[in-house]
Structure 1
Amino acid sequence: MPKSKQLGTQLAALDARFRERLKGDLQALETLASQLQEKPETGSNLLTEMRDRLHKLAGSAGTFGYAELGSRCRELEEKARIQMAADNPDHATMMALCSAIPSLRSLQQSRLTKEPELEPQAKTDAALVDRRHIGLLIQDTALGLQMSHTLTSFGYRISLYKKQPEIAPDTKLDALIVDTSPQGYNMLQSAPFAERGVNAPPLLVISSQDSFISRLQAVRAGARGYFTKPVDLPALESRLERCFNTHQGGPFRVLIVDDDTDLAARYKLVLSNAGMLVDINSEPNLLLEKMHTFSPDVVLMDISMPEYSGPELAQVIRLNDDWLRIPIVYLSAETNAERQMSALLKAGDDFITKPISDSALLTTVYARAQRARMVSEALARDSLTGLLKHADIKEQVDIEIERAKRCEQPMSVVMIDIDHFKKVNDEYGHAVGDSVIRGLSNLLRQRLRKVDRLGRYGGEEFVAVLPNCGTRDAWLILEEIRQAFNTLAFTANNQPFFCSFSAGISGCEGPTWDTRDLLGKADKRLYVAKHAGRNCISGPQDGPQKS
């Protein structure tokens, strides 16, 4: 069955379940109204229950297509709220409220039939090809060849064009890099650039102009990166990788905290269909356990639940420092701006008024989850390279050692250091030195596997953790990367120069499973490679070698 048809069938089943529930809810409201009319003097508890039921219907009815019913329930809920807050409830108003309840049944027939709102699913790593196809639209032959060589070294597949018509309409590119210097920004105002849709591949712009207006023109053309000449190619490659890694770390994880199980089920179905992992918690007392086990990127929180309020639960979450970065989005039929602001000030990050359309739900959750993951990544990663920081990569070493022992699989640790890096800084300046560091980090990230862990250990030193990889295989992998790095051209004062690195490898494999201080052993072998003349790799079996 096609996915869209399957989603429609599932939504129809939820709609049918809600229709059955609606009959019981309306009957319960009519019973409460009748009891309140008979004994208004003892109606405090009855009025509270009526308000709660109206609130729940106000939030869910519109989502299931009963817009008029939801709107009317919201009006009656507000009237009930006013009476509950009054020191001396007005008898006439109370009776009018009770008399209005039976009219809700007529709105049960006024249902808007909706087709499921489908959003295109975002690409995930599993759907991407191993070698991304990058188009270079560059008239400068020397620059085009240099960029083609460098990006090929980083693992990309490159197609070089001098004029836009050379790009066939059916050419599938993962990104397009355009040099606007020869023709200026007029080329970006004409087709096909002006006709690029939201799903067009990322556009990066190269220019000889460094001004606010030129950057603004690039943004208006849809550019997601802007680089002035001479181009810092490692920085450009970092931006490319950032464009591709929106979903790095797997699908977004969403926790829904709502006592309305039918409404929560609908939200889950819509979000799951967009590729997200969704869990529902309808028992607030289990919230902390769910936060620990599920580790959500976003929490969707109903603002009003029996015995607990959404802001109270949000504040409970915020008591844990590890969860401060997680966005909490309130979902409620509450329309009073003052009460919404009060809820947000206590602990929330956003407020969406029910009913919410499927597309609006997806957009809000996706934007919040993406931003939260970016912030989390930024906190754990080095700002220059985007790699794990010192403490985090050391933690990954410990994690992979325990995994290797548990699964009885080999693993390797590699310590890498750029040769004569002080000389690079002294001769060309720290900005160029940063470019070299970024270049090696990008190359390592491109050539190593997704399961490998990579961090900047300090200065020009890096650590790579290779699970299920013996030291001999690790040596072969790093040797290939070493040779590629030797050919990577960096630029200073409009002149190219080249760098090298040395590395030391340690590992746990074989019958001894000696995992003590693998980082220390890798560091000692790194110094062996340095003393052997640099630009080589030292492993436990072979000693320093260079091909």
Structure 2
Amino acid sequence: MSDEPSLILLDPLGGVADEIDGLLRPFGYRVTAIADATALGACVGRDSPSHVIVRLRGGKEDGAVLDAVRDLAAASGPAVTVIADDASMRARIEAVRAGVEAYLTPPLDALGLVERLESLKRGVRADPYRVMIVDDDVTMAKYYDAVLRAAGMQVMVLNDPMKVIRYLADFRPELILMDHYMPEIQGRELAAVIRQEAAFDSIPIVFLSAEDDATIQQRVMGIGGDDFLTKSIRADNLVSAVANRARRFRALRATMLRDSLTGLLNHTAMKERLAADLARMKRTDRPLTLCILDLDHFKLVNDTYGHPAGDRVLRALAHLLKQRLRVSDVIGRYGGEEFAIALPDTSVEQALPVLDEIRVAFAEMPQHHEGGTFHVTFSAGLAAFPRSEDSARLTDAADRALYRAKAAGRDRVVPAGAVEYGSRDAMHDHDGMRAL
């Protein structure tokens, strides 16, 4: 369902293409191997890969390989990762001078390679900042809208301040740009109303007004604003002020919403996103599928191979889900070894083969520990809106389908049936389910 990331492997002597392909294919990478260093630039121009890996072997071919890397760096091409047997400082310095950004030595493991590649990914556009403009002056609101959109931001304009609360949860702004003097309600009063809701308490509010009295500005900001700009502000300064505030909010929000181990949404954030997506699907009469996924026998993994190995399993699954699913799909770590995935605009019939393909890829993926490798599987339950009409019942149905997958032998994806969509009182104990 997601775009397949591509990678060019330059290996003049051959011999590692199958290994690299085997390591990366489960995560959705498509590997193209070439042997001619002089063809690297043309291949990059043709395929626009997300990554380039080059193999150095300490022979005369290395000079041509590093020359090709220098040319790629000069052309601002994708980041280059080297795999080399020589771990010496001299070899590393030569690679740095050629423009190499990552230097790996065998043996390689899939998770370590994927995490390194992802940390170097270029050309991925960040989501645009979401800005809500609240101004009863239609002309001025259109001007601010045009300025911020031209800077690449996503903007919602409300000329009626009384409708703000209605749209906050759906649009989820990262900054509110608000006129201070409006007919029905003053900006400071509207800011106080917004701050009454815990979910919106930290959203930056920037006032725009002709007011230039510093005392009044400070009083307004003390009530709930974060900044005060005059309406005569230059367009470039407005963009800078909004972007800086939104960037800080996004960074702070990420630390609050993300699980530190996997980088996925945490339990609370996942529930909020599910509720928001479900509300959006209801308004537009479109389907949504929720998947609750649980690793099989994960306690045994930790007991047998240690918690560091268990953490690697969790990170591997998180990377696999991010690679195989769409940007619009919402992925969260719901509990210790439990994950939740919301797939908007997707029926259960559409979601089932996608999740089952991920299940198979994960089961085949070798997991590493100090003594070698092992394999882990997962079970999953699927439930759909509009079959369940609110997030609690949807989660219950998916949870109960997961219980059925566990009871049926694990390592499978099971869609909810009539029993799972029944009353909540019939739901099996969740802790008992995890113990299976």
* TM-score, length basis structure 2: 0.65
Distance verdict in 2 for CA 1:392–1:264, change over 3 Å:
closer
Q: Which deviations, in whole Å up to 9, do the C-alpha atoms of 1:21-52 show, x marking residues without a partner?
A: xxxxxxxxxxxxxxxxxxxxxxxxxxxxxxxx
Q: Give the Cα separation in 2 of the matches to 1:136 and 1:396.
A: 38
Structure 1 gaps of 5+ residues are 1-128
1:97-496 correspondence to structure 2 within 5 Å: 130-136=3-9, 145-160=18-33, 165-169=38-42, 170-178=45-53, 191-192=70-71, 195=74, 197=76, 201=78, 230=108, 232-236=112-116, 239=119, 244=124, 246-247=126-127, 251-256=128-133, 265-278=142-155, 292=168, 295-300=172-177, 321-328=198-205, 346=222, 358-359=235-236, 361-394=238-271, 411-467=288-344, 469-493=346-370, 495-496=372-373
Distance 1:514 1:358 in 2: 43
| 2:413 equivalent to 1:537 | yes
CA distance in structure 2 between the aligned counterparts of 1:265 and 1:476, rounded to whole angstroms: 45
Where structure 2 has 5 or more consecutive residues not aligned to the other structure, the ranges are: 420-436
Distance 1:383 1:157 in 2: 28
Per-residue deviation, 1:320: 5.1
Bigger-Rg structure (1/2): 1
Residue 501 of structure 1: how far off its partner (Å): 1.6
Q: Residue deviations 1:470-490, cap 9 Å, x none?
A: 544443222211111123233
Alignment deviations for residues 455-499 of structure 1 (CA, whole Å, 9 cap, x no partner): 222111122334554544443222211111123233333844332
Of residues 166-175 and 289-298 in structure 1, the stretch that sits farther from structure 2 once superposed is: 289-298
Please tell me the residue identity of whatever aligns with 2:152. Answer: G
Give, in whole Å, the separation in 2 of the partners of 1:335 and 1:140: 70
CA contact (8 A) 1:254 1:299 kept: yes
How many residue pairs align between the two structures?
A: 402
Partner of 1:414, secondary structure, is strand
Query: Deviation digits for residues 316-375 of structure 1, max 9, x if unmatched?
Result: 765654344333557799999x98996998566678899766555445544543443343
8 Å contact kept, 1:153–1:488: yes
Q: CA separation of 1:529/1:289 partners in 2, compared to 1, >3 Å: closer, same or farther?
A: closer
Q: 1:175 and 1:330, CA in 2 relative to 1: closer, same or farther beyond 3 A?
A: farther
Work out whether residues 299 and 327 of structure 1, in 8 Å CA contact, stay in contact via their aligned partners in 2: yes
1:507–1:515 Cα contact (<8 Å) kept: no
Cα distance between partner residues in 1 of 2:195 and 2:55: 48
Once the two structures are superposed, residues 132-180 of structure 1 have per-residue CA deviations (whole angstroms, 9 ceiling, x without a partner) of 3334557896766444334333233333457764422424535335569
Amino acid at match of 1:176: H
Cα gap change, 1:533 to 1:305, in 2 (>3 Å): closer
Distance in structure 2 (CA, Å) of the matches to 1:365 and 1:220: 38
| Equivalent residues of 1:234, 1:438 under 8 A apart | no
Letter in 1 for 2:74: E
- Percent same amino acid among aligned pairs? 35
Distance 1:397 1:288, change over 3 A: closer
CA distance in 2, matches of 1:340, 1:163: 69
**Counterpart-to-counterpart distance in 2, 1:322 and 1:479:** 35
Structure 2 SS opposite 1:192: helix
Residues 542, 201 of structure 1: alpha-carbon distance in 2 compared, 3 angstrom cutoff: farther
Amino acid across the alignment from 1:387: L
